[in-house]
Structure 1
Amino acid sequence: MRTDQPQDIVPGALPEVITRYLDAHRTHDTATALSAFHPDATVTDERRTHQGATAIETWLNRSAGEYTYTIELTGTQKVDADHYVTTHHLEGDFPGGVVDLHYRFTLRAGLIDDLVIES
């Protein structure tokens, strides 16, 4: 049952697949990051949706090289067994230079089915 009221959790309580994605994305390990997604998953970032492994791989490669930035995990929440939210503080050479982003994960069968990144 989805409550839609996220509960704060410690980062170690995140599902392994989310931690795998976050760690791999931070180190620009595209292959490992991609392994966390269903082949037909979707990612929405900067109001653009990328669907399927090929599109997500292209997005991962582009986002890894487009800007230089630091990223700090500042919050983790569980909505229900298949929905999690992580909050990240980024600082870098992108427009605006500083942003807090919410990563909204939907899991299916142990993999990421949908990821929405928004401020």
Structure 2
Amino acid sequence: MKLPNVISELVKAQNEFDSTAYANCFTENAEVFDEGKTHNGKTEIENWIDKANKDYEATMKPLDYNETENILSAETSGNFPGSPIVLKYYFQLSEGYIQSLKITG
């Protein structure tokens, strides 16, 4: 499966629990929607993923990627009820970075 470079970088950063590298995949004014909350801007995204990494230690294993709609399906495993689960990651990309990410079950 061929993923856009920035999505491959995001998966790598997630699996290495590297919050800074994860946030650097996003534009300055990006937004992430996860677990009913919206996180705006790189700093807030980095703080959110840093806390999530510490709380859940979640890793991603890409299963499928819809190039037309920029949707990644990934098996996500970690310290949370129901692990592992398959989540969908809906991306909006802009100039090689992630402008928007929505994560759903």
Q: How far apart, in 2, do the equivalents of 1:18 and 1:69 lie?
A: 16
The residue type paired with residue 78 of structure 1 is: E
Match in the other structure for 1:114: 100
The residue type paired with residue 44 of structure 1 is: F
The residue type paired with residue 61 of structure 1 is: D
Query: What root-mean-square deviation, in Å, do the aligned CA atoms of Structure 1 and Structure 2 show?
Result: 1.5
1:37 to 26, 40, 43: 26
Match in the other structure for 1:72: 61
Report the CA distance shift for 1:71/1:20 in structure 2 as closer, same or farther (over 3 A): closer
Q: How far apart, in 1, do the equivalents of 2:35 and 2:83 lie?
A: 15
Q: Deviations over 1:64-109 (max 9, x none)?
A: 1112445321111112xxx411111123431223321001110012
User: How many residues are treated as equivalent by the alignment?
Assistant: 105
Q: How far apart, in 1, do the equivalents of 2:79 and 2:98 lie?
A: 28
4+ aligned runs moved over 4 Å, structure 1: none
- TM-score of the superposed pair, with normalisation by structure 2: 0.89
Report the CA distance shift for 1:69/1:114 in structure 2 as closer, same or farther (over 3 A): closer
Match in the other structure for 1:86: 72
The residue type paired with residue 27 of structure 1 is: E
Q: How far apart, in 1, do the equivalents of 2:64 and 2:89 lie?
A: 10
The residue type paired with residue 105 of structure 1 is: F
Q: How far apart, in 1, do the equivalents of 2:100 and 2:93 lie?
A: 7
Match in the other structure for 1:3: none
Report the CA distance shift for 1:28/1:88 in structure 2 as closer, same or farther (over 3 A): same
Q: How far apart, in 1, do the equivalents of 2:55 and 2:13 lie?
A: 16
Rg bigger for which structure? 1
Match in the other structure for 1:59: 48
- TM-score of the superposed pair, with normalisation by structure 1: 0.80
Q: How far apart, in 2, do the equivalents of 1:62 and 1:70 lie?
A: 14
